[in-house]
Structure 1
């Protein structure tokens, strides 16, 4: 699962026994060599879809990590891009790897549940971060995103179709979540990271409650499942133009 440049087992154990923030500070220098980073194929497909819909003015990448999503925004935004994360270590890596050309980038260290912005953005993205939020936190999180979008602005993120029950991937993710729940029951501080906690129906409902109009764009590069549904799609949540 990890390249030779990735973290060793001991490093992962120390990270897993830390808080989420401290864990990602420790992992940051090697994060891009782990399977936790969003694959380039998903990033490229998202960029292509946003190019067809754009261009946009200002963009925010929520929970930006080492900056892969910021790179996407810099290809589709003309004015400026902001990367936000609560891990100083991840932001340090992101800042060091960002190079011209492209619009200027601002880095912000803050909690996504308490965004330090006004209605400043035309486009907000996020890649692979929602497993760090408990289901009861989604209304507040989506409300925060809604509050920083300009009228007509969009909140866009990719979602992968859930694995079928009984498949190897289903068992792997179920096992990972079970281990994390046991860990959090017996160890403090908690480390919130659940792959199966972000449910499609709950996400859709909470986006609507936050005031968004929600559409789904299939990313055809990844094909379709046997029932005809896309394997990967973009969630496109739009704030009303008025």
Structure 2
């Protein structure tokens, strides 16, 4: 799971007993060598899908970490790109990474729940960040994304199909969440990181209530499950001026697997 360049067990223990912000500050130098980073295969498939639907103007990587999502945006956006995160350590690593030619990048330290921007972005992406928000915080987070998008702008994030009930993968995810809940019940400050707190169906319904028209694009690179549903989708939430219901057809309205 971890490469030799990744964090030692003792380092992970210290990080897990810290706040989310402090934990990621400590993890930042070795984050790209952990399984917490979004795989390159998902990033590349996202680029391919966005190139077909673009080009886009300005882009924002929400909870950018070490900047993998910023590299996605620089391939699909013609104008400026911004990465925002509340971890100083992550932003320092992101700034230090060498990048090929592309739009200018701005790095901003801010809490995603209080973004310091107006409606100035055509595309917002996020990779693996929603597990750091409690379900009660998501409406506010979606309101912030809606606020910073221009009309017709899109909020895009990959969504992996949940593992089969009773499978080892599901047991591992549920076990991880259980450990984190026990940790947060007995230790302060809390470290919010859950894999199953945000359910697939609740995610798209919350976005629709927040003023987005939600569709799902299958990523064919990852194939389909036995029931024919995609293994990995892009959730694409388009900003509307009023909350509207997405039409129940095609990939735009999948069956809620939860």
TM-score (norm 1): 0.99
Cα shift readout 1:189-221 (whole Å, capped 9, x = no counterpart): 000000011101111111001100000000010
Report what 2:24 is aligned to.
Answer: 24
Q: SS at the partner of 2:156?
A: strand
Report what 2:144 is aligned to.
Answer: 144
Q: SS at the partner of 1:191?
A: coil
Cα shift readout 1:3-32 (whole Å, capped 9, x = no counterpart): 000000000000000000000000000000
Separation (CA, whole Å) in 2 of partners of 1:19 and 1:220: 37
- 1:165 offset after TM fit, Å? 1.1
Separation (CA, whole Å) in 1 of partners of 2:241 and 2:87: 33
Q: SS at the partner of 1:36?
A: coil
How many residues of Structure 1 are paired with residues of Structure 2 in the alignment? 242
Report what 1:126 is aligned to.
Answer: 126
* Structure 2 unpaired stretches of 5+: 243-258
Separation (CA, whole Å) in 1 of partners of 2:133 and 2:126: 13
Separation (CA, whole Å) in 2 of partners of 1:191 and 1:25: 13
Separation (CA, whole Å) in 2 of partners of 1:199 and 1:70: 26
- 1:100 offset after TM fit, Å? 3.7
Cα shift readout 1:40-99 (whole Å, capped 9, x = no counterpart): 000000000000001000000000000000000000000100000000000000000042
Separation (CA, whole Å) in 2 of partners of 1:231 and 1:54: 23
- 1:241 offset after TM fit, Å? 7.3
Cα shift readout 1:92-115 (whole Å, capped 9, x = no counterpart): 000000424000000000000000
Say whether 1:202 aligns with 2:173.
no
Greater strand share, 1 or 2?
1
Cα shift readout 1:143-199 (whole Å, capped 9, x = no counterpart): 100000001100000000000111110000010000000000000000000001110
Distance 1:241 1:211, change over 3 A: closer
Q: SS at the partner of 2:57?
A: strand
Q: SS at the partner of 1:185?
A: helix
Separation (CA, whole Å) in 2 of partners of 1:137 and 1:163: 25
Say whether 1:12 aligns with 2:12.
yes
Report what 1:70 is aligned to.
Answer: 70
Distance 1:98 1:81, change over 3 A: farther
Report what 2:154 is aligned to.
Answer: 154
Separation (CA, whole Å) in 1 of partners of 2:131 and 2:12: 18
Separation (CA, whole Å) in 2 of partners of 1:144 and 1:241: 14
- Let me know the Cα RMSD of the aligned residues: 0.9
Q: SS at the partner of 1:56?
A: coil
* Structure 1 unpaired stretches of 5+: none
Report what 1:191 is aligned to.
Answer: 191
Report what 2:247 is aligned to.
Answer: none
TM-score (norm 2): 0.93
